[in-house]
Amino acid sequence: MLEIIKQPWHWAIAGTLIGLTVPILLILGNKSFGISSSLRHICAACFPANIPFFKYDWKKEIWNLFFVFGVLIGGFIANHFLSNPNAIAISENTVHDLKTLGVNDFSQLLPMDIFSVENIFTLKGLIFFVLGGFLVGFGTRYAGGCTSGHSIMGLSNLQWPSLVATICFMLGGFVMTLIIFPFIFKLF
């Protein structure tokens, strides 16, 4: 059984399991799935201030904080005890394209040529970590939710704003991958 858990699962199985969270949450109390709202709940709980955005009954949404805590614990357990010892399978085309940009280390889940501790205090680190993090946070707030909230929960509930947000997330990903990412790497 442990060997089955350690192996990569087919996208249809993993997608079905992720998709089942929607009806389960709706049945268990008409809850909406999303991760980005948990940051708002944490800020409202830990930093009570006179800011209107954080003035609400965050205790009604405490289940979301437990959910996020469970995701963190699950990620820790999976990384430390259930890791697949085999190399990560990456498309040969992707490896070729990344190598032409100077990304050569594929030994970990994230390419160490980009996401290493040494890069944090460099211009590349500033762009990828600080600017990238800001843009993700801004986009999440501007769209009124994150990719999981819109693309999993919103689309399954046939919400028009979630369809628009998901299309924009995908277009942004394509633009980043095909235009901005190669441009940034040519600078270094």
pLDDT one-digit tens code per residue, 42-100: 888 887 777 888 888 888 888 888 888 998 999 899 888 887 777 777 889 988 988 88
Structural domain contains residue 184: no
For residue 10, being part of any structural domain is answered with yes
Neighbouring CB atoms inside 10 A of 127's CB total: 16
Alpha-helical segments (H) within 8-59: 11-19, 21-27, 37-46
Judge whether 57 lies within some domain: yes
Domain membership flag for residue 119: no
Alpha-helical regions (H) of the chain: 2-6, 11-19, 21-27, 37-46, 62-81, 92-100, 123-125, 132-143, 147-148, 155-156, 160-175, 181-187
Q: Print burial letters for 92-122: b (CB count within 10 Å at least 16), e (below 16).
A: eeeeeebeebebeebeeeebbbbeeeebeee
Domain with 81, as residue range(s), is 1-86
Rounded Cα gap, residues 110 and 128, in angstroms: 13
pTM score: 0.74
pLDDT, residue 53, reads: 80
pLDDT recorded at residue 139: 84
What's the total number of domains in the chain? Answer: 1
Q: What is the pLDDT of residue 136?
A: 85
**pLDDT value of position 117:** 82
Would 161 be classed as within a structural domain? no
CA–CA separation, 74 vs 80, rounded Å? 10
Q: The tokens of 148 are what?
A: 């999981």
Residue 134 confidence (pLDDT): 87
pLDDT one-digit tens code per residue, 66-77: 888 998 999 899
